[in-house]
């Protein structure tokens, strides 16, 4: 499930001292100290909200990745090696002010001449490749299964039931949002008329006194809306976005008669039908923002006085446009992984996923290829609030072939999402989890990052948690380049911070369990600890 699908779905103790840089002794944060952290009661400032994912749990009582501490105490002015991180996602705004100077550039290719100058099989691939052509909207995979009559009888029946359920649910949601929008419009007009002005504040509404029952009802409606947004214009924006989203789901994602692929010109079920797409992986419309947001979390230019700081310095972002507004095709993902590997990426960020896969073996083979070539694959675990260890909740891509607990590659790390609320609510209600099939957790809710056309915005999802991990992985591979992808995965998992606290899963208190049982590692990633462990491991190589 992509971020866009998520947005409107719901209104051991480590005490070892290791030698650090220079004369500084750096100490891994002990478990006992983590569990003693008090719950944060004060509201975060605007600046803290925009960068909470980089905070330190001990000093800030915010469950961030201790990035600022890592830069201050470990990285300092150290020179690292450039690391290429492939963002296998929607298109990226290549002209964004906070991204334009950190793009990977294919030096073997001459731009715009229509020739494959470097003979890598892709024409004019200057900053990456676009496997979608001009396509944007697409069906869900299970709808394609029904449209094309693919899969066995069991899969067909499961897909049919799911489609019926989704159409019913999203039709009702769209109607409810339209009704709410109409009520808020009427209430807003009544309040404006009574106050005699078009711009009013929450304070104005609270202070409004009236005996008019109709006006009183309008006032109560507006007051209720302030619990969802800071201003009524923002309420209108969210409601209209919601209606657009539900409409897209019904018109494209769940529409059996829609075929978004036909404008691309290839056969998406023939892996050998190559030569499609083009060398321009830029986003096609403003709403195609997911890849831009992800890229900024990983590596937005640091300390340039603009927008946000990415997690990693010394990064070049390779843009691979392969994820549409709907479910991705296995062919594009498999070829995208191979493109990233063949063109020098050492980390692939994969903030996408789906519940059905017609050609999962193509992707499994590509993951093996990445592992053989020392490339780390970082994947968002998904936004359905599901236990991924349940065989009925199998998600794609994965690293176990759907055959239980045995991983067939050692370069795949699955990431769940944290909120800024340390304690029982720190696992995001939407985040998938699993003691076997989710490896680690990272900040993913209300993450501020880059958006198309030099904008910035908060977004939520395991889609945002995965690039946090990719950024830390890039730091490790930059400053300790002798370490292999499997080493980096081990470091990310073992160096995190654990907690004995009980956490609510799926937003359901009845599903609470100890945090250390919500993932394989039982931990939240920590850049500071990861770099200490990486330094120690690197010295032994």
Claim to verify: residue 11 and residue 63 sit in the same structural domain: yes
* Residue whose C-alpha is closest to residue 60's, from 523, 522, 506, 497: 497
- Are 43 and 27 a contacting pair, CB within 8 Å? no
pLDDT tens, position by position, 150-193: 888 999 999 999 999 999 999 999 999 999 999 999 999 999 99
Instruction: Determine how β-strand 412-418 pairs with β-strand 440-443.
Output: parallel
Q: What's the DSSP call for residue 71?
A: I
Instruction: Report the pLDDT averaged over residues 310-329.
Output: 97
Claim to verify: residue 63 and residue 166 sit in the same structural domain: no
Q: Between the CA of residue 34 and those of 305, 420, 450, what are the distances in Å? A: 33, 15, 31
User: How far, in whole angstroms, is CA 171 from its chain's centroid?
Assistant: 26
pLDDT at 228: 87
Instruction: Report the pLDDT averaged over residues 335-345.
Output: 98
Q: CA–CA separation, 506 vs 383, rounded Å? A: 10
Q: In the structure, what pLDDT confidence band is assigned to residue 4 with cuts at 50, 70 and 90? A: very low
Higher pLDDT, 510 or 61: 510
Neighbouring residues of 491: CB distance < 8 A, sequence distance ≥ 6: 476, 483, 530, 533, 534, 537
Claim to verify: residue 132 and residue 166 sit in the same structural domain: no
Q: In the structure, what pLDDT confidence band is assigned to residue 29 with cuts at 50, 70 and 90? A: low
pLDDT at 230: 87
Instruction: Report the pLDDT averaged over residues 299-309.
Output: 96
With both helix axes pointing from N to C terminus, report the angle between 153-195 and 141-148 in degrees, rounded to the nearest 10: 130
Bridge partner residues of 27 (DSSP): 17
> Could you tell me if residue 304 is inside a domain?
yes
Q: What three-state secondary structure class fits 222?
A: helix
* Residue whose C-alpha is closest to residue 333's, from 385, 370, 296: 370
Neighbouring residues of 416: CB distance < 8 A, sequence distance ≥ 6: 381, 427, 428, 431, 432, 433, 438, 440, 441, 442, 444, 462, 465, 518, 519
pLDDT at 463: 98
- Are 344 and 483 a contacting pair, CB within 8 Å? no
Q: In the structure, what pLDDT confidence band is assigned to residue 35 with cuts at 50, 70 and 90? A: low
Q: CA–CA separation, 529 vs 532, rounded Å? A: 5
pLDDT at 24: 36
pLDDT at 27: 55
Q: Does pLDDT of 367 surpass 90?
A: yes
Claim to verify: residue 244 and residue 272 sit in the same structural domain: no
Q: Does pLDDT of 15 surpass 90?
A: no
Claim to verify: residue 120 and residue 166 sit in the same structural domain: no
Q: In the structure, what pLDDT confidence band is assigned to residue 26 with cuts at 50, 70 and 90? A: low
Q: Does pLDDT of 34 surpass 80?
A: no
- Are 166 and 254 a contacting pair, CB within 8 Å? yes
With both helix axes pointing from N to C terminus, report the angle between 360-372 and 485-494 in degrees, rounded to the nearest 10: 100
Claim to verify: residue 370 and residue 322 sit in the same structural domain: yes
> Could you tell me if residue 14 is inside a domain?
yes
Both tokens of 290, joined, read 């997911």
Claim to verify: residue 249 and residue 277 sit in the same structural domain: no
Domain end call among 194, 222, 253: 253
Q: Does pLDDT of 437 surpass 70?
A: yes
pLDDT at 12: 27
Instruction: Report the pLDDT averaged over residues 17-23.
Output: 32
* Residue whose C-alpha is closest to residue 308's, from 73, 97, 72, 43: 97
Bridge partner residues of 417 (DSSP): 442
What is the residue range of 408's domain? 3-138+260-539
> Could you tell me if residue 464 is inside a domain?
yes
Both tokens of 19, joined, read 């030698």
Cα-Cα-Cα-Cα dihedral sign, residues 143, 147, 152, 157: positive
Q: What's the DSSP call for residue 358?
A: T
Q: Does pLDDT of 476 surpass 60?
A: yes
Q: CA–CA separation, 379 vs 446, rounded Å? A: 19
Q: In the structure, what pLDDT confidence band is assigned to residue 53 with cuts at 50, 70 and 90? A: very high
Q: Does pLDDT of 17 surpass 80?
A: no
> Could you tell me if residue 355 is inside a domain?
yes
Q: CA–CA separation, 480 vs 539, rounded Å? A: 9
> Could you tell me if residue 147 is inside a domain?
no
Claim to verify: residue 129 and residue 235 sit in the same structural domain: no
Instruction: Determine how β-strand 83-89 pairs with β-strand 447-451.
Output: unpaired
Q: Within a 13 Å sphere around the CA of 47, how many CA atoms are in the beta-carbon half? A: 1
pLDDT at 400: 85
Least confident of 23-37, 72-86, 490-504: 23-37
pLDDT at 541: 82
Claim to verify: residue 282 and residue 430 sit in the same structural domain: yes
Q: What three-state secondary structure class fits 451?
A: strand
Q: What angle do CA 287, 441, 353 make, to 5 degrees?
A: 45
pLDDT at 61: 86
* Residue whose C-alpha is closest to residue 474's, from 353, 302, 279: 302
**Percent of the chain whose predicted confidence (pLDDT) is above 70:** 92
Q: Does pLDDT of 14 surpass 70?
A: no
> Could you tell me if residue 148 is inside a domain?
no
pLDDT tens, position by position, 273-303: 999 999 999 999 999 999 999 999 999 999 9
Q: What angle do CA 75, 80, 85 make, to 5 degrees?
A: 105
Domain end call among 215, 230, 253: 253
With both helix axes pointing from N to C terminus, report the angle between 485-494 and 462-479 in degrees, rounded to the nearest 10: 120
pLDDT tens, position by position, 373-408: 999 999 999 999 999 999 889 899 999 866 656 899
Domain end call among 226, 253, 280: 253
If you average pLDDT over every residue of the chain, what do you get?
91
Claim to verify: residue 169 and residue 295 sit in the same structural domain: no
> Could you tell me if residue 151 is inside a domain?
no
pLDDT at 341: 98
Bridge partner residues of 130 (DSSP): 278, 321
Instruction: Report the pLDDT averaged over residues 409-415.
Output: 97
Both tokens of 280, joined, read 């321009």
Q: Does pLDDT of 3 surpass 80?
A: no
Instruction: Report the pLDDT averaged over residues 6-23.
Output: 34
pLDDT tens, position by position, 488-518: 999 999 999 998 889 999 999 999 999 999 9
Place of tokens 């209104």: 11
Place of tokens 């009582």: 61
Q: What three-state secondary structure class fits 317?
A: strand
3-state secondary structure 104-158: CCCCCCCCCCCCCCCCCCCCCCCCEEECCCCCCECCCHHHHHHHHCCCCHHHHHH
* Residue whose C-alpha is closest to residue 316's, from 337, 336, 340: 340
Q: What three-state secondary structure class fits 84?
A: strand
> Could you tell me if residue 96 is inside a domain?
yes
Both tokens of 456, joined, read 């910035």
Claim to verify: residue 49 and residue 179 sit in the same structural domain: no
> 156 exposed, middle or buried (CB, 10 Å; 0-12, 13-18, 19+)?
middle
Report the number of distinct structural domains present in the chain.
Answer: 2
Q: CA–CA separation, 48 vs 42, rounded Å? A: 11
Place of tokens 């600890």: 529
pLDDT at 229: 87
pLDDT at 194: 95
Q: What predicted TM-score, i.e. pTM, was given to this entire model?
A: 0.90
pLDDT at 39: 67
CATH number at residue 473: 3.40.50.200
pLDDT at 21: 36
pLDDT at 405: 65
Claim to verify: residue 436 and residue 457 sit in the same structural domain: yes
Q: 10 Å Cβ neighbour count for 149?
A: 7
Q: Between the CA of residue 161 and those of 9, 143, 171, 354, what are the distances in Å? A: 19, 11, 16, 17
């Amino acid at each position: 499930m992509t971020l866009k699908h998520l947005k409107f779905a719901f209104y051991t103790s480590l005490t070892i001292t290791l030698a650090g840089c220079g004369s500084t002794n750096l100490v891994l944060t002990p478990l006992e100290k983590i569990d003693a952290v008090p719950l944060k009661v004060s509201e975060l400032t605007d600046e803290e909200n925009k960068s909470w994912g980089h905070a330190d749990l001990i000093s800030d009582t915010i469950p961030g990745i201790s990035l600022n501490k890592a830069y201050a105490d470990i990285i300092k002015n150290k020179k690292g090696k450039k690391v290429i991180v492939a963002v296998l996602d929607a298109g990226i705004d290549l002209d964004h002010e906070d991204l334009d100077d950190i793009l990977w550039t294919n030096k073997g290719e001459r731009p715009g001449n229509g020739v494959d100058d470097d003979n890598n099989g892709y024409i004019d691939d200057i900053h990456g490749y676009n496997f979608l052509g001009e396509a944007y909207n697409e069906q869900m995979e299970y709808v394609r299964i029904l449209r094309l009559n693919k899969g066995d009888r069991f899969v067909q029946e499961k897909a049919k039931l799911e489609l019926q359920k989704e159409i019913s649910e999203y039709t009702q949601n769209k109607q409810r949002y339209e009704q709410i929008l109409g009520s808020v419009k009427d209430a807003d007009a009544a309040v404006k008329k009574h106050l005699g002005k078009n711009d009013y504040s929450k304070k104005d509404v609270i202070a409004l006194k009236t005996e008019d029952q109709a006006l009183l009802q309008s006032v109560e409606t507006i007051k209720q809306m302030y619990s969802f947004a800071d201003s009524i214009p923002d309420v209108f924006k969210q409601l209209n976005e919601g209606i657009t989203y539900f409409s897209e789901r019904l018109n494209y994602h769940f529409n059996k008669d829609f075929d978004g692929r036909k404008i691309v010109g290839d056969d998406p079920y023939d892996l050998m039908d190559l030569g499609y797409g083009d060398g321009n992986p830029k986003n096609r419309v403003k709403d195609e923002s997911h890849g831009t947001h992800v890229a900024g979390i990983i590596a937005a230019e640091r300390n340039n006085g603009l927008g946000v700081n990415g997690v990693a310095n010394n990064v070049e972002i390779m843009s691979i446009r392969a994820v549409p507004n709907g479910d991705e095709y296995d062919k594009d993902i498999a070829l995208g992984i191979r493109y990233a590997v063949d063109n020098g990426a050492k980390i692939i960020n994969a903030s996408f996923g789906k519940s059905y896969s017609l050609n999962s073996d193509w992707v499994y083979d590509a993951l093996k290829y990445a592992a053989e070539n020392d490339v780390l694959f970082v994947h968002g675990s998904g936004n359905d609030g599901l236990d991924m260890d349940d065989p009925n909740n199998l998600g794609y891509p994965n690293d176990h072939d759907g055959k239980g607990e045995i991983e067939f590659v050692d370069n795949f790390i699955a990431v769940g999402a944290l909120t800024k609320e340390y304690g029982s609510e720190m696992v995001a209600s939407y985040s998938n989890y699993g003691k076997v099939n989710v490896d680690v957790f990272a900040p993913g809710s209300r993450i501020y990052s880059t958006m198309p056309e030099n904008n910035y915005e908060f977004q939520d999802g395991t889609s945002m948690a995965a690039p946090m991990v990719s950024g830390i992985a890039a730091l490790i591979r930059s400053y300790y380049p002798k370490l292999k992808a499997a080493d980096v995965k081990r470091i990310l998992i073992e160096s995190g911070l654990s907690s004995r606290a009980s956490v609510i899963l799926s937003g359901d208190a009845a599903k609470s369990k100890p945090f250390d049982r919500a993932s394989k590692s039982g931990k939240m990633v920590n850049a500071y600890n990861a770099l200490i462990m990486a330094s120690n491991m690197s010295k032994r190589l």
